Amino acid sequence: MELVSFFKYKKKAHISKAREGDREAVLALIDENKVNIYRVARGILRSEEDIKDVMQNTVIKALEKIGTLKEDKYFRTWLIRIVVNECNDILRKNKRLLPLEGEIDRKDDSYTDNYENIDLINAINSLPEDARVTITLFYFDDLSVKDIAEILEISEGTVKSRLNRARMQIKKLLGEV
Amino acid sequence: MDNNNDLFDKKMKAQFKKETSIIPEDIDKEFENILKIESSKGRLTMGKLKKFGITAASLVCAATLVMQTAFAQDIVNKIVKSLSIEGLTVYENKNEEDMWARDMPEAARGKVFDAEGNVVEKINSENMDYLYNADGVHVWVDDDGIILTDKEMDDRIEQNRKENEDVMLNITDINEIWKYVNFNVHLPEYIPEGYEFTSAEADNYEKTGLDKSYWCGVYYENKESQGSFYLQLSYVDGIEAGETFFNNIEKGNVNGSDAIISDDAIVWVSGNVRYSLFIQSLGKEEGMKVAESIK
């Protein structure tokens, strides 16, 4: 089987084609956004294996759900919502796997982490889940508070308060206060 | 937002971008892989998993295959989920297609019957163990449509074993497996009632030029119930990558190690060794007991 390069698909990355069910167009769009998918997953999850799973499952879910994308302009937030949902799914499953409440830290430490020298990511990773997800979306690119509220299906006020809380904690962790 | 926060956020956004702008190679590789697999759908004729051998032991063998990418692409139908563990990606299909389903091969058409004497036109996982010839003798049908009695099947298996001797070791003493492999072999302390070790296999490293085998497979059978389970241990070198697919995959844990648990197998890695325990005959609960007794 020919192992095709996805570079060629980038030329075909048209959202409208994707919405019409053009499989290759969807894949091309996903490929264009793979760094975005990775960034969000990297901010929210600690384990490299979990990040891999989320990235792969995002492809599958995006293909399945492309029909639910209402307008072309929402493609990026639509895709990020899928990523966040997949991350939340993994977080929920990981929680269920923890045998005892007091073992959370030990479990987290056992995850593969090849990024030991990365300060901000480590700081974000140490935040509580809701703050971690919100601040990741905020720092990952230029997502507005409104976009984040839509993705997380919470109010803009809640986004702002989570951001404030997360910002304060990160400042403390990075020794900026 | 005050100016201090504004400045802080700008700095953090730049830092976040810097720290996450490069996707690690192995993650990128697997991502490309899933794109390719998804891309292949629709323009390829979906093949089925190659079927071979028909005894309980070889059923297990078929499920053991860790497929290379090109092969996986041919058999993937509708992947709905994937989980990864140390170089192994496990996919789950949307349609739980019967991987053994096939039309009766032409050479055997009209010559194979069910227990009631009806002609069998399609072979599947339900009827494959209950096929009979016109004389009511239990038979097996291979992919070429050759009809084999139990005795003929045993002879074929023995012949295959002899032909494979050059590349595969057949180990009959469970206490000697360690001699042939390059890692510490840990086997289950708990064996369900009625099951016993029957044989093990590994690369014939002397013939293949390796220092020792980098994997081994251990068979257990329950002669009364005809049930079997199989444990494959593979040295994880951090380079090898493979794929397979199981039904109903979920994350789990075996003795503190992340695991993938499915209806077909439990897979986990401990001390550079990947354990793949195939549990179709045992079920999940009993399978987990066996897995957790490997320490």
Residue length of chain B: 295
Contact B243, B29 (CB under 8 A): no
- In this predicted complex, what is the ipTM? 0.74
What is the rounded CA–CA span in Å between residue B128 and residue B138? Answer: 11
Average pLDDT over residues A84-108: 61
| A&B contacts, CB < 8 Å | 120
Interchain CB distance below 8 Å, B31 and A56: yes
Average confidence score pLDDT of chain A: 75
Interchain CB distance below 8 Å, B16 and A140: yes
**Is the pLDDT reported for residue B1 higher than 80?**
no
What is the rounded CA–CA span in Å between residue B229 and residue B222? Answer: 9
B161: tokens are 């074993």
B225 touches chain A (CB under 8 A): no
Distances (CA, A) of B280 to B57, B66, B226: 11, 17, 12
- What residues form DSSP beta bridges with B268? B259, B275
Residues of A in contact with B241 (CB under 8 A): none
B-chain residue closest to A38, CA distance = B23
Q: What SS3 class is residue A69? A: coil
**Is the pLDDT reported for residue A162 higher than 70?**
yes
- The closest CB to that of A121, out of B19, B80, B86, belongs to B19
Vertex A82 angle, CA B66 and A32, to 5°: 80
Cα B206 to the center of its chain, rounded Å: 26
- The closest CB to that of B27, out of A51, A99, A121, belongs to A51
Residues of B in contact with A39 (CB under 8 A): 16-17, 20
Pairing mode of beta strands B215-222, B227-235? antiparallel
DSSP A27-68: HHHHHHTHHHHHHHHHHH---HHHHHHHHHHHHHHHHHHGGG
Residues of B in contact with A99 (CB under 8 A): 253
**Is the pLDDT reported for residue A95 higher than 60?**
yes
What is the rounded CA–CA span in Å between residue B181 and residue B174? Answer: 13
Phi, psi of B88 (to 5 degrees): -110, 125
Residues of A in contact with B13 (CB under 8 A): 139, 141-142
What is the rounded CA–CA span in Å between residue A86 and residue A56? Answer: 10
Residues of B in contact with A167 (CB under 8 A): 5, 8-9
Residues of A in contact with B41 (CB under 8 A): 23
Contact B201, B161 (CB under 8 A): no
Average confidence score pLDDT of chain B: 77
Interchain CB distance below 8 Å, B27 and A48: yes
**Is the pLDDT reported for residue B141 higher than 60?**
yes
The secondary structure of chain A in percent helix, strand, coil, rounded to multiples of 5, reads: 75, 0, 25
Residue in the structure block whose two tokens are 């997380």: A152
Using H for helix, E for strand and C for coil, what is the string for A114-168? Answer: CCCCCHHHHHHHCCCHHHHHHHHHHHHCCCCHHHHHHHHCCCHHHHHHHHHHHHH
Can you give the pLDDT at residue A115? 39
Interchain CB distance below 8 Å, B16 and A23: no
Put simply, the chain B residues between 93 and 132 with a CB less than 8 A from any chain A CB are: none
What is the rounded CA–CA span in Å between residue B83 and residue A49? Answer: 8
Can you give the pLDDT at residue B69? 36
Average pLDDT over residues A53-65: 88
Residue A43: name the closest of B17, B218, B123 by CA: B17
Q: Which amino acid is at B31?
A: F
What is the rounded CA–CA span in Å between residue A144 and residue A170? Answer: 20
Average pLDDT over residues A144-164: 90
Phi, psi of B41 (to 5 degrees): -70, 140
A-chain residue closest to B10, CA distance = A139
What is the rounded CA–CA span in Å between residue B80 and residue B78? Answer: 6
Contact B217, B230 (CB under 8 A): yes
**Chain segment B242-292, per-residue pLDDT in tens:** 667 777 888 899 999 989 998 888 999 898 898 989 887 888 999 999 999
B36: tokens are 């390719």
| Bigger pLDDT: B41 vs B214 | B214
Average pLDDT over residues A41-58: 89
* Percentage with pLDDT > 90 across chain B: 20
B105: tokens are 């091969």
Q: How far is A44 from chain B (nearest CA, A)?
A: 12
Contact B269, B236 (CB under 8 A): yes
Which of A8-12, A166-170, B122-126 is predicted with the least confidence, judged by mean pLDDT?
A8-12
Residues of A in contact with B31 (CB under 8 A): 34, 38, 52, 55-56, 59
Can you give the pLDDT at residue B191? 96
Distances (CA, A) of A67 to A3, A165, B79, B232: 27, 36, 18, 42
Average pLDDT over residues B107-119: 91
**Is the pLDDT reported for residue B65 higher than 50?**
no
**Is the pLDDT reported for residue B105 higher than 50?**
yes
**Is the pLDDT reported for residue A177 higher than 80?**
no
What is the rounded CA–CA span in Å between residue B197 and residue B222? Answer: 9
Most confidently predicted of B5-9, B141-145, B194-198? B194-198
- The closest CB to that of A57, out of B5, B70, B82, belongs to B82
